[in-house]
Amino acid sequence: MPTPREIAAAAQRETPLPNVPQDIDTLLTSAAAFLVVSIKDGPENVAAVQATLGDVANLVKAVAFRDLTAQVSCSAAVGSRVWDEVMAPAITPGAVPAELKPFTEIKGSKHTAISTPGDLLFHIRANRPDLVFELEKLIVDSLGSSVTVEDEVSGFRYFDDRDLLGFVDGTANPVGAHLTQASLVGPEDPEFAGGAYVVVQNYQHNLGAWNRLTVENQEAIVGHRKLDNVELPDAVEGQKSHKTLNTITLDGVEFDILRDNMPFGAPGEALYGTYFIGYTRYLWVLEKMLENMYLGDPPPLYDKILDFSTPTTGTTFFAPPASMLAALGD
């Protein structure tokens, strides 16, 4: 793996990606669905999945024409368990993204980032929930009985881009050219350039306990002021905030990821959550963030937001370039 300094230097001279990426870096939308499924055994089920993945772009077009301003998109990703079998028609025999592997459980002194099943992820986005619903329906109909649903969440944008804890979410996302450099694989893994590693976690919140904290205590945990989202100074030692623990710097180079988290919930069931999704060029960056949160930096000073937010899933995927997915339908 190249050093951080080599990566930073290379980013300044990178050429356009050889593969067409999926719409990973689309603008944030007001609605989304997250669908995680596992493929049933049998070649007929793999064939059905390949046909669906190869047709995703056409399904998006079929829904998007209803409202060209709604920013309809779908990013599809594949897990390590089925990578070889599903992607075989579109890749060099035996080729695998360099860092692709199952989600690794992280067991801290108090909290655990669990690992849960999932072979495929469909991240569906639009500014209209009815179009999100319609696109998910078409994808599920296409998959038919070839898969088992592991997790399905419909998310919404809450107030001024806040999570259900009341804080603005996603302000740490890279912008401009740095967004591509942070989220899409580059020439370090040429066959999969234009793809991205994806990690998802379904977090459920204890809002009652959270809301009993003072605003000052909440701000110290998150690392931002609640009203205006101004960042608080990073702690040099001792307990660090969520923001600081998720800032990854190596040899003076800061590494970012692209987040598109969504609140979700069912008040009648006292269900309040955040669906975390992170796209990254380097899986190790996102893994380091999670290690900091659950193990602490330094251990055992874990991320105190975990006292109020419990992960119920944890799965890793790779989102191939759009051109690679299209080849599955040829």
Task: Estimate the crossing angle of helix 129-143 against helix 43-64, to 10 degrees.
Answer: 150
For residues 20 and 45, give the distance between their C-alpha atoms in angstroms, rounded to a whole number.
Answer: 27
For residues 227 and 149, give the distance between their C-alpha atoms in angstroms, rounded to a whole number.
Answer: 38
Nearest by Cα to 131 from 199, 180, 73: 73
Q: Are 286 and 168 in contact (CB under 8 A)?
A: no
* Catalytic-role residue among 169, 256, 260, 303: 169
Burial class (CB within 10 angstroms; exposed 0-12, middle 13-18, buried 19+) of 23? middle
Token pair, residue 61, equals 């077009």
- 130 annotated active-site: no
Nearest by Cα to 281 from 206, 203, 196, 223: 196
Side chain identity, residue 242: H
Side chain identity, residue 172: A
Cα–Cα–Cα angle for 154, 159, 163, rounded to 5 degrees: 60
For residues 137 and 195, give the distance between their C-alpha atoms in angstroms, rounded to a whole number.
Answer: 25
Token pair, residue 113, equals 């980032």
Torsion of CA 320, 321, 322, 326, to 10 degrees: -70
Q: Are 69 and 159 in contact (CB under 8 A)?
A: no
Nearest by Cα to 189 from 100, 119, 97: 97
**Active site residues per annotation:** 169
